Amino acid sequence: MTLVALALALSFAPQSTDDVVAKMITEAKTNSQAMKSLQDLTSKFGPRLTSSSNLEKAEKWMMDQFKRAGCTNVHLEAWGSIPVGFDRGRSSFGRMNKPVARQFEFTSPSWTEGTKGAMKGLAVVCPKDKTELESAKEKLKGAWVVMDRQPRRSRPGAEAPSAEVQAQIDLDSAIDALGIAGRVYGSRSELVITSGSFRDKTFEKHPMDRSVTIRKSDMDALKASMAEGKSVELEFNLDQKFRKGPVVQHNVIAEIKGTEKPDEVVIISGHIDSWDGPGAVGASDNGTGSCTALEAARLLLKAGAKPKRTIRFILWGGEEQGLYGSRSYVIQHEKEMDKISAVFVDDGGSNYIGGYNGHPDMKPMLQKGMDQVVAAFPDLPMRYTERANPRTQIGSDQDSFNAVGVPGFFTLETGSEKYGTQDYNFIHHTQHDTMKYVIPMYMVQSSVAHAVVGLQVANADTMLPRYPKFEYKLNPDGVPGLAELLLKK
Tell me the domain boundaries of the chain.
16-83+246-488, 102-240
Residue 157 has pLDDT above 90, yes or no: no
Per-residue confidence band for 274, with pLDDT thresholds at 50, 70 and 90: very high
- Residues 163-176: tens digit of each pLDDT: 888 888 899 999 99
- The mean predicted confidence, pLDDT, of the chain is 93
The pLDDT score that the predictor gives to residue 158 is: 60
Q: Which CATH class is domain 16-83+246-488?
A: alpha beta
Residue 96 has pLDDT above 90, yes or no: yes
Could you give the 3-state DSSP secondary structure of residue 175?
A: helix
Q: Are strands 340-345 and 355-358 parallel, antiparallel or unpaired?
A: unpaired
- Dihedral pair phi/psi, residue 470, rounded to 5°: -90, 170
Evaluate whether the domain defined by 102-240 bears CATH number 3.50.30.30: yes
Count Cα atoms within 13 angstroms, Cβ side, for 252.
26
Per-residue confidence band for 154, with pLDDT thresholds at 50, 70 and 90: low
Among 80-94, 262-276, 350-364, 379-393, the range scoring the smallest mean pLDDT is 379-393
Asked whether this chain's domains 16-83+246-488 and 102-240 adopt the same fold, the reply is no
- Residues 364-381: tens digit of each pLDDT: 999 999 999 999 999 999
**What kind and span of H or E run contains 371?**
helix 363-376
